[in-house]
Amino acid sequence: QKEVEQDPGPLSVPEGAIVSLNCTYSNSAFQYFMWYRQYSRKGPELLMYTYSSGNKEDGRFTAQVDKSSKYISLFIRDSQPSDSATYLCAMWKTSYDKVIFGPGTSLSVIP
């Protein structure tokens, strides 16, 4: 079993839809959780960063962590064509550990 699993998609939604992206993980020691967005032919950029369980909101984006279920989510409200990208979840145990990345979900928002 991989440490971090993520549906690769591709996921295609109409503009304005609510998008839900998810990752599951197996190591209950993970405490820090991140979402990265990667446009084609570019490096990943940090989108959201959360510590432990709970929700964090930033504009149209909400990151949710459920440590009891070992499940994290990224919600995108009012999705835009500019949100079309690959979304990578990432997590680690302590700041001294290497980060474990999910394989990424490809999202297309159709105008």
Partner 1 sequence: DVKVTQSSRYLVKRTGEKVFLECVQDMDHENMFWYRQDPGLGLRLIYFSYDVKMKEKGDIPEGYSVSREKKERFSLILESASTNQTSMYLCASKSSGGYTFGSGTRLTVV
Q: How far is the CB of 66 from partner 1 (least distance, A)?
A: 20
Q: How many residues bind partner 1 (CB under 8 A)?
A: 20
Nearer to partner 1, 17 or 62 (CB): 62
Residues of this chain, 50-109, that bind partner 1 according to CB under 8 A? 88, 90, 95, 98-99, 101-104
Nearer to partner 1, 42 or 77 (CB): 42
Q: How far is the CB of 104 from partner 1 (least distance, A)?
A: 6
28: Cβ contacts below 8 Å, ≥ 6 apart: 67, 70
Q: List the structure tokens of 94.
A: 């302590």
Task: Spell out where the chain has E strands.
Answer: 4-6, 11-14, 19-25, 32-38, 45-51, 54-58, 61-66, 71-76, 85-92, 100-101, 105-110
The answer to whether the beta carbons of residues 78 and 60 sit under 8 Å apart is: yes
Round to the nearest angstrom and report the end-to-end CA distance of the chain.
37
Residues of this chain, 4-43, that bind partner 1 according to CB under 8 A? 8, 32, 34, 36, 41-43
Binding site for partner 1 (CB under 8 A): 8, 32, 34, 36, 41-46, 49, 88, 90, 95, 98-99, 101-104
